[in-house]
Amino acid sequence: MNNLNSILIEGNLVRDPLYRTTAKGTALCTFTVASNRYFKQDTGTEKEVGFFDVETWAKTAEHSYNLGKKGRGVRVVGRLKQDHWTSADGQYHSKVSIVAEHVEFRPEFKKDAVPGDSMTDEALAEMPSSSIAENDEAEEETAPVEEFEAVAF
């Protein structure tokens, strides 16, 4: 029997992504996503915020670094990874993070759009979201379901 390890999370970047390369030259980009959850209590609607560490590799890392910035909305599809280590003082540590297989960013809109400018927020909102394919060519357009910009492949 195969095990399933898959996660989809939506939220906003907590800070600008961090980009680095491994000793072999492979690109690695890490960022943290804050995801809100709302639920009803006797006292009214409550808000719970979760913070999730994400790592992306290779072309996905390059695109995530170039397109991501603090506060931007993001959708991540990937798998969970658990790291284990023992610190110098003998303490056992464990950390769960998300290894992204697909990353999509919400579109950014101009905040200082001039009236009469052809690229106002309304005009941008009507534009379909764009996709980035691994070979850097546009993917075939389909009817957009949500306004996200695809980054991973």
CA-based torsion, 64, 67, 70, 71: positive or negative: negative
Q: What is the mean pLDDT of residues 102-111?
A: 86
Please, what's the b/e burial string for 13-45 (b: 16 or more CB within 10 A of its CB; e: otherwise)?
Answer: beeebebeeeeeeebebbbbbeeeeeeeeeeee
Q: What is the mean pLDDT of residues 68-92?
A: 96
On the CB side of 149, CA atoms within 13 Å amount to 18
d(CA 105, CA 18): 16
CB 31 within 8 Å of CB 75: no
d(CA 89, CA 76): 35
| pLDDT tier, 118 (very low <50, low <70, confident <90, very high otherwise) | very low
Closest CA to 109 of 145, 77, 76, 71: 71
Q: What is the mean pLDDT of residues 78-90?
A: 96
pLDDT at residue 145 is higher than 50: no
- The pLDDT value recorded for residue 124 is 43
Per-chain mean pLDDT for the chain: 80
Domain residues of the chain, as ranges?
Answer: 7-39+46-150
Q: What is the mean pLDDT of residues 104-113?
A: 79
Question: What does pTM read for this prediction?
Answer: 0.69
Q: What is the domain class of 7-39+46-150 according to CATH?
A: mainly beta
- The pLDDT value recorded for residue 5 is 95
Residue whose entry in the numeric block shows the structure tokens 């910009």: 149
- The pLDDT value recorded for residue 1 is 73
pLDDT at residue 151 is higher than 80: no
